[in-house]
Amino acid sequence: MSVLAIVSLKNGQPTKGGLEAASYAAAYAQAQGVEAVALVAGPMQSDGGLGATGIVRVLHCATELSDSSQWARLADAASKECGASGVVLTHDHTGRAIGPRLAVRLQAGMVSGVTELPNAGAVRKNVFSGKAMADVEVSSNTVVYSVTPNAFGVRDGGGTAEVSAFSAEVGEARERVTGFDPASADGQTPLPEADLVVSAGRGLKGPENWGIVEDLAKALGATTACSRPVSDIGWRPHHEHVGQTGITIRPNLYIAAGISGAIQHLAGVNQSKVIVVINTDPEAPFFKAADYGIVGDAFEVLPRLTAAVKALDA
């Protein structure tokens, strides 16, 4: 018996989400007294740091895969090989494509976006866009869970995992990847994985004013985001839009400048651990959801914050 983590790689290393899935799988395996195994596909050096998360054994498929159908077949074979009673993925693009396919193949119930380890036969996830939680029970013998990014954290307990080559009959690839546009040229952490996010809205008055947002983000090592109106009118790219119809994030710190805090925006950010709101309007609804607030002009406040962050590190 075992718990199997499906770990995606980027540039030969597990992604942060992949390490979180591995950490969750290891803790879940430990609680059940079974072995924690990880599956990776593509080039990777030694154990890729997976041993430190508590993974004991890594099944390493040398071929890089992007096709969700091939991945599901590989994961299906791997879970049979190690007798997995649970499979864990990250609730990102891979967990949304591979996990559900795998659940069908294994005839296993799947719960997506879990935030905690299972407790007394049920596992917790956020529902209603973060406005409530649900404890979900699965009736099948095997379960598939995908873990919400930034919810569980990465375990670092030292240790190395034993790596063995693994392959399976995965069929033809039907997707052909023909190109990739990086979200940002300057090496920012992708928004769904970011610990720190600096976001701004219409209060910034125009795209030419985003320098002060980017300066604070850079000083903090944060990722930039924006509200829906700002991406709709083209001041900022779509992939920066956080909120109900954009992307949902869960960083440690979310700083929002010049965003009033419409309910649709809150739905995308209300799971952030600490929320800071900067707005000229003391009645802005966002202050009700915030931990810290500054009633003031972003054009004055943001540069002061940037200077204070720089002074901190000096």
Q: How far apart are CA 277 and CA 87, in angstroms?
A: 39
Q: Which is nearer to other proteins, 45 or 178 (CB)?
A: 178
Q: Which is nearer to other proteins, 45 or 107 (CB)?
A: 107
Q: How far apart are CB 243 and other proteins at their closest, in Å?
A: 9
On the 0-12 / 13-18 / 19+ scale of CB atoms within 10 A, 233 is exposed
Partners of residue 254 on adjacent β-strands: 197, 275
- Which of 117, 3, 141 shows the shortest CA–CA distance to 59? 3
Q: How far apart are CA 222 and CA 216, in angstroms?
A: 8
Task: Find the radius of gyration of the CA atoms of the chain.
Answer: 21
Q: How far apart are CA 85 and CA 227, in angstroms?
A: 41
Partners of residue 109 on adjacent β-strands: 143
Q: How far apart are CA 270 and CA 66, in angstroms?
A: 32
Q: Which is nearer to other proteins, 30 or 117 (CB)?
A: 117
Q: How far apart are CB 164 and other proteins at their closest, in Å?
A: 26
Q: What is the 3-class SS of 11-65, one letter each residue?
A: CCEECHHHHHHHHHHHHHHHHHCCEEEEEEECCCCCCCCCHHHCCCEEEEECCCC
Q: How far apart are CB 162 and other proteins at their closest, in Å?
A: 27
Q: Which is nearer to other proteins, 47 or 76 (CB)?
A: 76
Q: How far apart are CB 178 and other proteins at their closest, in Å?
A: 5
Q: How far apart are CB 77 and other proteins at their closest, in Å?
A: 15
Q: How far apart are CB 240 and other proteins at their closest, in Å?
A: 10
Q: How far apart are CA 56 and CA 155, in angstroms?
A: 13
H or E segment to which residue 299 belongs: helix 298-313
Q: How far apart are CB 66 and other proteins at their closest, in Å?
A: 8
Q: Which is nearer to other proteins, 57 or 246 (CB)?
A: 246
Q: How far apart are CB 157 and other proteins at their closest, in Å?
A: 22
Integer angstrom CA distances of residue 296 from 53, 181, 203, 265, 299: 43, 37, 11, 20, 9
Q: Which is nearer to other proteins, 35 or 199 (CB)?
A: 199
Q: Which is nearer to other proteins, 65 or 108 (CB)?
A: 108
Q: Which is nearer to other proteins, 32 or 129 (CB)?
A: 129
